[in-house]
């Protein structure tokens, strides 16, 4: 059975590969619009479903995985900054505070009318970093295109004090939930998840016990 990841994110490709299943990648034709009034966690689920459905319509016999990650602070969703000024504003809002990362995953098989979703939420405590630290991070260019303007798997880890929750969800694809949904769909996941979570074979994962 074909498995398609409805994402162009290198991080999601790398994480999904850890499950040991062969898969294809296809960019979803889906417009992520922040809808006012909808809880941020629900919005992440809606986006994940929208991406999966968009690809499933084109490949109705395939198992399609969609995922989305949003940052929540003060009940507001922070998406991906398009400019350094956007990123600076987001990171200043997060500085020295706790926020939540909501990562949703959806698995669809159009022909079988199968659709299941799951959500993983991670709490993140940001350090009260200095303006110099902020500007140095912005100068790296890593903020652009990252939800909340930082990458926990990259040098953005230096801005983080600690997390509570699944590290893979903080990166962008909750592997435990993804494996459960794939197995519900009838696929066998070759990777031993207990060993995977013990060994933490991904950038910066070992920093978060």
pLDDT of residue 1: 86
CATH class of the domain comprising 3-207: alpha beta
Res. 127 pLDDT band, cuts 50 70 90: very high
Residue 170 sits at φ, ψ, to 5 deg, of -65, -35
Does the pLDDT of residue 79 top 90, yes or no?
A: no
Residue 68 among the catalytic residues: yes
HEC sequence for the chain: CCEEECCCCHHHHHHHHCCCCCCEECCCCCCCCCCCCCCHHHHHHHHHHHHHHHHHCCCCCCEEEEEEEEEEECCEEECCCCCHHHHHHHHHHHCCCEEEEEEEEEEEEHHHCEEEEEEEEEEEEECCCCHHHHHHHHHCCCCCCCHHHCCCCCHHHHHEEEEECCHHHHHCCCHHHHHHHHHHCCCCCCCCHHHHHHHCCCCCHHHCC
pLDDT of residue 31: 78
Res. 61 pLDDT band, cuts 50 70 90: very high
Are residues 159 and 190 in contact, defined by beta-carbon separation less than 8 angstroms?
no
pLDDT of residue 30: 85
Q: 27-31, 71-75, 157-161, 197-201: which has the minimum mean pLDDT?
A: 27-31
The pLDDT tens digits of the residues spanning 18-29 come to 999 999 999 999
Q: Among 31, 42, 61, 68, which one carries the catalytic annotation?
A: 68
pLDDT of residue 33: 76
Does the pLDDT of residue 148 top 90, yes or no?
A: yes
Question: CA angle, corner 202, sides to 143 and 187, nearest 5?
Answer: 110
Please give the residue that has the higher pLDDT: either 130 or 34.
130
Q: Two tokens at 93? A: 């809002």
Give the chain's mean pLDDT.
Answer: 95
Give the number of other Cβ atoms within 10 Å of residue 89's Cβ: 14
Supply the pTM of this predicted model.
0.94
Closest CA to 44 of 145, 169, 128, 140: 169
pLDDT of residue 169: 98
Token match 């991070």: residue?
137
Does the pLDDT of residue 128 top 80, yes or no?
A: yes
Closest CA to 62 of 9, 137, 1: 1
Distance of CA 68 to the CA centre of its chain: 5
Burial of 74 (0-12, 13-18, 19+ CB in 10 A): exposed
Domain range list for the chain: 3-207
């Amino acid at each position: 059975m074909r498995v398609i990841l409805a994402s162009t994110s290198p991080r999601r490709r790398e994480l999904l590969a850890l499950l040991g299943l062969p898969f294809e990648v296809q960019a979803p034709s889906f417009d992520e619009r922040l809808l006012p009034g909808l809880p941020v966690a629900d919005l992440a689920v809606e986006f994940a479903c929208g991406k999966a459905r968009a690809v499933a319509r084109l490949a109705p016999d395939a198992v399609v995985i969609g995922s989305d990650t949003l940052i929540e602070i003060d009940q507001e969703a922070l998406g991906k900054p398009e400019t350094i000024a956007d990123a600076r504003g987001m990171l200043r809002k997060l500085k020295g505070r706790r926020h939540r990362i909501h990562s949703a995953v959806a698995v669809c098989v159009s022909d079988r009318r199968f659709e299941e979703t799951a959500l993983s939420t991670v709490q993140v405590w940001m350090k009260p970093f200095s303006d110099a630290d902020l500007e140095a991070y912005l100068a790296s260019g890593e903020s652009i295109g990252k939800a909340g303007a930082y990458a926990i798997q990259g040098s953005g880890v230096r801005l983080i004090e600690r997390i509570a929750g699944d590290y893979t969800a903080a990166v962008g694809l909750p592997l435990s939930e993804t494996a459960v949904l794939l197995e519900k769909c009838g696929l066998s996941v070759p990777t031993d998840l207990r060993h995977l979570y013990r060994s933490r074979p991904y950038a910066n994962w070992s920093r978060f016990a």
